[in-house]
Structure 1
């Protein structure tokens, strides 16, 4: 496999209370020093960016594994909690909820329960964090769609803009 180059551009305005921007092909976000550390807090801070990398990797890995397994997935959503203890010790817990279509079987549910755990083992970012001493845990839920459209409800409840 050939090396992959990822180019990013960054700009910073003003002093520590200022803000910056990071941009690459498919990413653009505002960054700032957290207010408790003397910054404005008006953007993503490094720990949020690190956790978001773990979230994106886990999500895409699980989506790929679900697709390859051919289970009847309606959708999935996830809450992730990052805990920063004194001394900047980070831990991450993913809580995915996979919703299967109404024709899913108990075998499908069992397979997805296993895939929810295996996704972390196959997520490169999560594995890098674990090697660096960051505890990463997964506590998944699998349910069968009962016409409640749980994924759309989650989107609405959490204010996602699509």
Structure 2
């Protein structure tokens, strides 16, 4: 078994409506509570970062699965949405939706289109971040193919 350790260092100054800073090997950014949650909206926030982790993991997983299936594509674009509910002052991340668009040079036949749609779903189920959220946050992928 191989274990990978990822590290993040963070600092936070003062109270709730202040801001902080996080640093990893490849990321350095300010963080705060988003304005929609009555925060100062300085830099990014945990909700965007969770969505970013889920979306990039999904996109990379889908690209790898398409490559392993030896399907030639131009690119993948993914729009992702995170749904956070606030009820009785309890904030809960409820759902993430991915809307990938797979661009190809030419129109795929029916079998290839079916395979790509299957990979869109399988990537969502296989993504490490989606698996980490399982049972807590619903994650959905609905794909489209364009040529």
TM-score, scaled to structure 2: 0.85
Candidates 133, 137, 142, aligned match of 1:139: 142
1:71 CA drift (Å): 0.6
Q: In 2, Cα distance between the equivalents of 1:5 and 1:27?
A: 16
* Residues 1:94 and 2:98 are matched in the alignment: yes
Q: In 2, Cα distance between the equivalents of 1:96 and 1:115?
A: 11
Unaligned runs of at least 5 residues, structure 2: none
Q: 1:73 aligns to what SS in structure 2?
A: coil
Q: 1:105 to 1:28 in 2, by over 3 A?
A: farther
Q: 1:103 to 1:92 in 2, by over 3 A?
A: closer
1:129 aligns with 133
Q: In 2, Cα distance between the equivalents of 1:127 and 1:81?
A: 17
Q: How does 1:2-151 map to 2 (within 5 A)?
A: 2-35=2-35, 37-87=37-87, 88-89=91-92, 90-102=94-106, 104-131=108-135, 133-143=136-146, 145=147
Q: 2:33 aligns to what SS in structure 1?
A: coil
Q: How many residues align?
A: 143
TM-score, scaled to structure 1: 0.78
